[in-house]
Amino acid sequence: MEEDAQHEQASPEVQKRIQESFDRQGLMGHLGARISHIGPGRVHIVLPGRPEVTQQDGYFHAGATSAVADTAGGYAAFTLFPEDTAVLTVEYKVNLLAPAVGEYIEAVGTVLKPGRTLTVCRLEVFSVKDDQRKLVATGQQTLICVS
């Protein structure tokens, strides 16, 4: 994973559309998540570590990890959708590769295959601890564009 600054930015209109939708997601605000990058077909979301997002051993809960992964993939697809459409997750699958600990995790959703009806995304989640970036989850997601 490179620095965000190296990634292409989406148009201001698309960035605004994504950010406004994200701000309406009660869950993301409640978890403390924020968008860290919006590019064409690619969205990053950061979730800081704190007791409210942990499982029983103090790691990031798989549910929190996959909530931000699902959201990153959904908005990555949404950057490529026409105006006046909405995005819904059809399904996703995620492998938890390692316990996630650290200052924060960053979910990266990337469109693998855009489509008029269905879009497929890759989901990756990295933990960041003492400037060390580690892949802690990887997944695949199918989304549908609805009018």
- Which residues sit at the interface with its own copies, rule CB under 8 A? 21-22, 24-31, 50-57, 61-64, 66-68, 70-71, 74, 86, 88-99, 112-113, 117-118, 120, 122, 135, 138-140, 142, 144
Q: CB of residue 75 vs its own copies: minimum separation in angstroms?
A: 10
Strands 34-39 and 132-146: unpaired
- End-to-end, the C-alpha distance of the chain in Å comes to 34
Closest CA to 112 of 136, 146, 85, 139: 139
Sequence-ordered list of residues with C-beta below 8 angstroms from that of 83, at least 6 positions apart, any chain: 17
Q: CB of residue 22 vs its own copies: minimum separation in angstroms?
A: 7
Instruction: Select 5 or 82, whichever has its Cβ closest to its own copies.
Output: 82
Instruction: Select 5 or 91, whichever has its Cβ closest to its own copies.
Output: 91
Where helices occur in the chain by DSSP H, the ranges are 12-23, 26-31, 62-78
Q: CB of residue 5 vs its own copies: minimum separation in angstroms?
A: 26
CA distance 110 to 43: 7
Instruction: Select 123 or 128, whichever has its Cβ closest to its own copies.
Output: 123
Instruction: Select 5 or 111, whichever has its Cβ closest to its own copies.
Output: 111
